[in-house]
Structure 1
Amino acid sequence: MENAVFIGLSQQMALKRRMDITANNLANVNTTAFKSEHPLFEEFLVKRPDQDAVSFVQDYGSYRDLREGEFTHTGRPLDLAISGEGYFSIETPEGIRYTRNGSFRLDPDGNIVTINNQALLDENNRKITVNLQFQELTVAPDGTVTTGPGQTQKIGLFDFENPQVLKQVGSGLYDAENFQPQATTDVNIMQRTLEKSNVQPILEMTAMIDIMRAYQSAQQLLDSEHELQMKTIEEMPTVQ
């Protein structure tokens, strides 16, 4: 009886984890360049002497869907989208972080910054600063920023051997931790464009319904086992 209860509880714990991830995906359906996440589970066998092994479900981790979201034209010169596998590098108080959210603006000093006033960096990890006297700003597909006569800098575009190692730290930023980025040229920057989230809300809502049904089924199993245990306890004195 206890095995059935433990198996049911392990399933519910896994379903709760899956529900949390699904809810987070839905909450970010309108977040620029957000990448949906999905859980990974594996079977965990507990071997017992002279008995069959008991199969539990174990939360193994999660993976990020790296497919591009839909591109939308905004008309703003500092809205940038990356077509291909790559990330912008951003200077934060905690160190350099990476993002695909290309919604930038100019601060009073002429630095190109995020909405949280964190500086966009060039290919040498220096701040990209433009002359505020010139209103026209052009970003070439290779990331070259041109403002005024002869003033150019190149936006740093980086990639990783395995982008799944990047850790989300909020505000659309990723921490590479101890993994080294590599400069990438196999991408294009589209100016006046933003990448939408790649979350598919219909699929996420369907998944949420399936999770709820599975959770209820597991709860029914636990309730049945509890009733059986209570009935056994009540009848044991009679048997003796």
Structure 2
Amino acid sequence: MENAVFIGLSQQMALKRRLDITANNLANVNTTAFKSEHPLFEEFLVERANQDSVSYVQDYGSYRDLREGEFTHTGRPLDLAVSGEGYFTIETPQGTRYTRNGSFRLDPEGTVVTIDNNALLDENNRKITVDLQFQDVSFAPDGTVTTAPGQTQKISLVNFENPQVLKQVGNGLYDAEDFRPQAAVEATIMQRTLEKSNVQPILEMTAMIDIMRAYQSAQQLLDSEHDLQMKTIEEMPTLQ
């Protein structure tokens, strides 16, 4: 009897984890360049002496859907999108971070920054700055920043051998931890464009309904098992 309870509880824990991830995807459906995540589960067998093994559900981890979101034209010269596998390099108080959210602006000193005032870096890990007296700023597909007097700097576009190792740290930023980036040679920059979230809300809503139904089914199993245990406890004195 206890095995059925433990199995049901392990399923509910896995479903809760899946629900949390699905809810987070839906919450970021309008977040620029957001990549949806999906959970990974595996069977966990517990072997018992002279008895059949018991199969539980184990939360193995999650993976990120790296497919590009839809590109939308904004007309703003500091809105940038990465076409291909690549990330902008950002300087934050916590260290170097990476993002595909290219919604930038100029601070009072002419530094290109994110909405959280974190500086965009060039390929030499220097902040990208623009002379404020020149209004026209253009970004070439290779990341070269050009103003009226001529070329200034080149944006650092990087990629990773396995982008799944990047850890989300909020505000569209990723932490590479101890993994070293490499130049994103096949990625290009699109100016006056932003990448939308790749979350598909209809699929996520459908998944949420399936999760709730599966959770209710597991709960019904637990309730039935509880009723059976109570009935057994009540009848045991009679049998003795």
- Number of the residue aligned with 1:101: 101
Distance in 2 between the 1:153 and 1:106 partners?
15
Equivalents in 1 of 2:184, 2:235: separation in Å? Answer: 72
Question: So what's the TM-score if we normalise by structure 2?
Answer: 0.99
**1:95-174 alignment runs, 5 A limit:** 95-174=95-174
Within 1, Cα distance between the matches of 2:106 and 2:147? 13
Give the structure 2 partner of residue 176 of structure 1. 176
Residues 161-197 of structure 1 show CA distances to partners (whole Å, capped at 9, x for unaligned) of 0000000000000000000000112111000000000
- For 1:1-240, list aligned pairs within 5 A: 1-240=1-240
- Taking the aligned partners of 1:127 and 1:191, their CA distance within structure 2 comes to 19
User: Structure 1: how far apart are the matches of 2:131 and 2:148?
Assistant: 7
Residue type of the partner of 1:232?
T
The percent identity for this pair of structures is: 86
**For 2:29 and 2:221, how far apart are their aligned partners in 1?**
34
Cα drift, residue 42 of structure 1 = 0.2
Cα deviation 1:186-237 (Å, max 9, x = unaligned): 1110000000000000000000000000000000000000000000000000
Partner secondary structure for residue 32 of structure 1? coil
Shift of residue 152, structure 1, vs aligned partner: 1.7
Identify unmatched segments of 5+ residues in structure 1: none
Structure 1 vs Structure 2 CA RMSD: 0.5
Give, in angstroms, the shift of residue 89 of structure 1.
0.4
Q: Which moved more, 1:146-155 or 1:107-116?
A: 146-155
Cα deviation code 1:58-98 (max 9, x no counterpart) = 00000000000000000000000000000000000000000
Deviation, structure 1 residue 150: 2.1
The one-character-per-residue Cα deviations of 1:27-79 (angstroms, maximum 9, x if unpaired) are 00000000000000000000011111000000000000000000000000000
Classify the secondary structure of the residue corresponding to 1:204. Answer: helix
How far is the alpha carbon of 1:149 from its aligned partner? 1.2
Deviations 1:96-153 (A, max 9, x none): 0000000000000000000000000001111000100000000000000101212421
- The answer to whether the 8 A contact 2:144-2:151 is kept is no
3-state secondary structure, aligned to 1:208? helix
CA–CA separation in structure 2 for the residues paired with 1:56 and 1:123: 48
1:131/1:148 contact within 8 Å kept? no
Question: Does structure 2 conserve the Cα–Cα contact (< 8 Å) formed by 1:72 and 1:196?
Answer: yes
Counterparts of 1:120 and 1:38 in 2: how far apart (Å)?
A: 29
Structure 2 unaligned regions, length at least 5: none
CA displacement, residues 8-27 of structure 1 (integer Å, 9 cap, x when unaligned): 00000000000000000000
Aligned residues: 240
Matched residue of 1:42: which SS? strand
* Structure 1 residue matching 2:120: 3-state secondary structure: coil
